[in-house]
Structure 1
Amino acid sequence: MKFSRIGCLALLASSLSAPLWAQSVDIQGAWARATVQGQKASGAFMQLTAKDAGRLVRVSSPVAGVAEVHEMSMDGGVMKMRALDKGLELPAGKAVELKPGGYHIMLMDLKLPLLKDTTIPLTLVFKDAKGGETSKELKVPVSQVAPAGSGSPAAQDAHGAHANHGK
């Protein structure tokens, strides 16, 4: 069997641009909460749907000294918040909502205010079942409130308290 030089180069290029372990994650409705003067923390929210099972293992943004995947829950009437040390599980084909009052991305030690009607860069790092990592770069719009259908007002109020906590 004889291969042409162009055919071999095309095959090599396609294999380099699409690693076999690449995690395919659909990201919808991303937004970050605007801050007020002096506020040093905020949250980012979105819906993640992974084609294959995996995890959101890290987040980063140049606007924050610290960015973490967090969970907020109620336990006996007490609001509890914590970083997810092992990341957020993304079951295959199932949407996972990052929203006020639940899972979210916490942006702390902000280097600048998050102003309404601007965007911020955010990098999400995913790990697949075989341990391969991929990252997605986003430009996330900043808003005062969640877009329609992105969580209850009570959950938004609860997250406001979380956004003001320090590390």
Structure 2
Amino acid sequence: MTALLSKTARVLLASLLAGCSLSAIAQTKVEDAWVRTSVPGQPSSGAFMRVTADSDSKLLSVSSPAAKDVQIHEMSMTNDVMRMGPVDSVALPAGKTVSLDPDGYHVMLMGLVKQIKEGDQVPLTLTVENDKGVRETIEVQAPARAMMEKMDMGHDHGAMK
């Protein structure tokens, strides 16, 4: 009887724990992640991707062993002057895809530890926090692409000249 009760209690406890942990885990999808190649001696590069969270969240940080310092930056135009600088986080509205691309938010890899060559796989670790304070870590292997390679960031660049 005790063994049966123990087994039942273990199954119930495991089910409860699994249910709790599954409901507490945020679900964020990262697509088309890539890193721009570099030339010998180049100190920095950029990483780009599309990020979609299933609940209101924010991208807090990105890290990578490929660089000494990794920051999330925003590119913006102010009075016809292009400005770029770090941000504390990037809002990820529920169900909306946010593009990190050269024209807006993007990831700066600074203090590259070695040249990034076409075909390299660059590991990136994203930290996302949902509106309930639950953090999620997402590991991504981002292929290195040549600077001039066509990007698929989910929008049409055909009208740009």
TM range (shorter): 0.7 to 0.9
User: Following TM superposition, where does structure 1 have runs of at least 4 consecutive aligned residues deviating by more than 6 angstroms?
Assistant: none
Of the three residues 10, 35, 44, the one matched with 1:32 is 35
**TM-score scaled by structure 1?**
0.81
Gaps of 5+ in 2: none
Gaps of 5+ in 1: 156-167
| Cα deviation code 1:10-43 (max 9, x no counterpart) | 4156247x35332211111110000001101110
What secondary structure sits across from 1:11 in the alignment?
A: helix
* Letter of the structure 2 residue corresponding to residue 7 of structure 1: V
Distance 1:28 1:82, change over 3 A: same
**TM-score scaled by structure 2?**
0.84
What secondary structure sits across from 2:24 in the alignment?
A: coil
Aligned partners of 2:57 and 2:91 also within 8 Å: yes
Aligned partners of 2:32 and 2:152 also within 8 Å: no
Larger Rg: 2
| Cα deviation code 1:137-163 (max 9, x no counterpart) | 11110001344433759x9xxxxxxxx
Of the three residues 53, 62, 67, the one matched with 2:65 is 62
Per-residue deviation at 1:8? 3.0
Q: Percent identity?
A: 36
Distance in 1 (alpha carbons) for counterparts of 2:135 and 2:23: 11
Q: CA RMSD in A?
A: 2.3
Count of equivalent residues: 151
Of the three residues 108, 112, 132, the one matched with 2:110 is 108
Partner of 2:15: 11
